[in-house]
């Protein structure tokens, strides 16, 4: 047995960048609990939330080096590893709803994408939802023209960069942990988030306007260091896989609920005006952003994009 596993219990450090009280935070805690129960204490999962241990970019490196064993980075954060296909998830308006999304993440296309991580020393275990994103800023964002010249924080994704540029916004990549302060000090004017992330980071306190655009999706791949995972005793791996299946259900249920609750809480806090775009306004935004699909297709890979279109019944000729 490798020496790492001679120790008892086996420690899995699970690092993430969001608050404890988020879909990912709650699902990570649930996984830790079930992992301990199902392995009868052979495994102890230590969860480190809120970028406490590592920020976005560092956590990927830490995983590859084996300083942590488990992460759940957002899908937008895998391209810097060279797995650009993951940026397909960032394409604006590619998913109409959770049904479209789950057809990908819970089907063969999703599994194929996770497999691509193996050559990077990473094993993908599951997809966890967060949700569809809203836009926020200190000015109302109703029509595509309203984005002109607005400095928007984005995750490190070329697709998100192109998405913001498509409406004349000025995208700026920042670590998640730096976003609140950047909004507060005016380094950037606005950003995009699922409501649960916006609310738990208190971004609504420094954003006067929010538009429920649901223009794109933010979710996670739960990943482990491949060498560590492959070296686990088979019964332990099986128990952890079971814990992961259960945690995925929790993650997705919580995500759905938390994002609705977060919007209500932002409203109740009274600092942000929430705008629900009309169908017509949403369509104009879709039309403005859709060229990004074509523009990014050679980067992401046409095959991946077409596979997603197929399972979600997205017809690009209708745009």
* Site of interaction with ligand LMR (CB under 6 A): 17-18, 74, 130, 155, 176, 197
Instruction: Supply the minimum distance, in Å, between the C-beta of residue 176 and ligand LMR.
Output: 3
Closer residue to ligand LMR, CB minimum distance, 74 or 259: 74
Closer residue to ligand LMR, CB minimum distance, 74 or 136: 74
Closer residue to ligand LMR, CB minimum distance, 15 or 39: 15
Question: Phi and psi (nearest 5°) for 80?
Answer: -60, -15
Give the residue among 167, 180, 272, 148 at the shortest CA–CA distance from 215: 167
Instruction: Supply the minimum distance, in Å, between the C-beta of residue 137 and ligand LMR.
Output: 15
Q: For residue 60, what is the enclosing H or E element?
A: helix 56-65
State yes or no: cis peptide before 9, omega within 30 of 0: yes
Give the residue among 93, 86, 57 at the shortest CA–CA distance from 217: 93
Closer residue to ligand LMR, CB minimum distance, 132 or 314: 132
Instruction: Supply the minimum distance, in Å, between the C-beta of residue 72 and ligand LMR.
Output: 7
| Beta bridge mates, 127 | 221
Question: Phi and psi (nearest 5°) for 74?
Answer: -65, 155
Instruction: Supply the minimum distance, in Å, between the C-beta of residue 50 and ligand LMR.
Output: 10
Burial of 318 (0-12, 13-18, 19+ CB in 10 A): exposed
Closer residue to ligand LMR, CB minimum distance, 39 or 74: 74
Instruction: Supply the minimum distance, in Å, between the C-beta of residue 17 and ligand LMR.
Output: 5
Instruction: Supply the minimum distance, in Å, between the C-beta of residue 194 and ligand LMR.
Output: 7
Which pair of tokens denotes residue 172?
């700026």
Instruction: Supply the minimum distance, in Å, between the C-beta of residue 225 and ligand LMR.
Output: 19
Closer residue to ligand LMR, CB minimum distance, 17 or 91: 17
**Helix and strand counts by DSSP (H, E) for the chain:** 13, 11
**b/e per residue 276-290 (b: at least 16 CB within 10 A):** ebeeebbebbeebbb
Residue 154: helix, strand or coil by DSSP?
A: strand
To which residue do tokens 């089907």 refer?
A: 107
Q: For residue 70, what is the enclosing H or E element?
A: strand 70-71
DSSP letter, residue 17: S
Instruction: Supply the minimum distance, in Å, between the C-beta of residue 155 and ligand LMR.
Output: 4
Closer residue to ligand LMR, CB minimum distance, 74 or 123: 74
Closer residue to ligand LMR, CB minimum distance, 34 or 77: 77
Which pair of tokens denotes residue 72?
């759940």
């Amino acid at each position: 047995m490798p020496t790492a596993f001679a120790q008892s219990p086996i420690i899995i450090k699970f690092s993430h960048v969001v608050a404890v009280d988020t879909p990912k935070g709650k699902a990570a805690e649930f996984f830790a609990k079930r992992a301990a129960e199902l392995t009868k204490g052979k495994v102890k999962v230590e969860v480190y939330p809120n970028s406490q241990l590592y920020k976005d970019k560092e956590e990927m490196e830490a995983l590859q080096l084996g300083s942590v064993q488990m992460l759940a980075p957002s899908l937008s954060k895998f391209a810097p590893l060279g797995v650009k296909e993951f940026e397909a998830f960032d394409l604006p308006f590619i998913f109409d709803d959770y049904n479209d999304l789950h057809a990908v993440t819970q089907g063969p296309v999703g599994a194929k994408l996770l497999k691509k991580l193996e050559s990077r020393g990473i094993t993908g275990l599951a997809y966890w939802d967060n949700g569809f994103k809203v836009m926020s800023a200190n000015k109302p964002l109703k029509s595509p023209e309203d984005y002109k010249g607005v400095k928007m924080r984005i995750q490190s994704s070329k697709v998100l960069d192109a998405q913001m540029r498509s409406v004349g916004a000025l995208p700026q990549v920042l670590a998640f942990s730096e976003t609140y302060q950047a909004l507060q000090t005016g380094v950037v004017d606005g950003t995009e988030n699922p409501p649960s992330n916006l609310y738990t980071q208190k971004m609504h306190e420094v954003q006067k306007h929010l538009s429920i655009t649901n223009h794109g999706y933010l979710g996670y791949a739960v990943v482990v260091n491949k060498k560590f995972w492959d070296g686990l005793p088979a019964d332990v791996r099986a128990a952890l896989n079971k814990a992961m299946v259960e945690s995925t259900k929790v993650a997705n249920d919580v995500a759905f609920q938390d994002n609705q609750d977060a919007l209500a809480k932002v409203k109740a806090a009274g600092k942000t005006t929430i705008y629900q775009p009309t169908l017509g306004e949403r369509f104009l935004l879709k039309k403005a952003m859709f060229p990004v699909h074509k523009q990014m297709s050679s980067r992401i890979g046409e095959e991946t994009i077409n596979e997603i279109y197929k399972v979600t019944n997205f017809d690009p000729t209708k745009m």
